[in-house]
Amino acid sequence: MADKDEVSLVALLINASDGTIINAVKSSKLTSAIPSLQASERGDIKVIGRNIILCDAAAPADLFSLDGRRVMTLMPNVLAPVEPGVYVARIGSKSVKLIVK
74 has a pLDDT exceeding 90: yes
Give the pLDDT band (50/70/90) at residue 21: confident
Give the pLDDT mean for 11-16: 80
The mean pLDDT value for 95-99 works out to 91
Query: How would residue 70 be classed by pLDDT, with cut points 50, 70 and 90?
Result: very high
* Beta-carbon count within 10 A of 93 CB: 5
Q: Which helix (H) or strand (E) is 26 found in, with range?
A: strand 21-27
Over residues 25-61, the pLDDT tens digits come to 776 655 555 555 443 334 478 899 999 999 877 788 9
SS3 92: coil
Q: Which residues contact 27 (CB under 8 A, 6 or more apart)?
A: 8, 9, 10, 11
Q: What is the pLDDT of residue 98?
A: 93
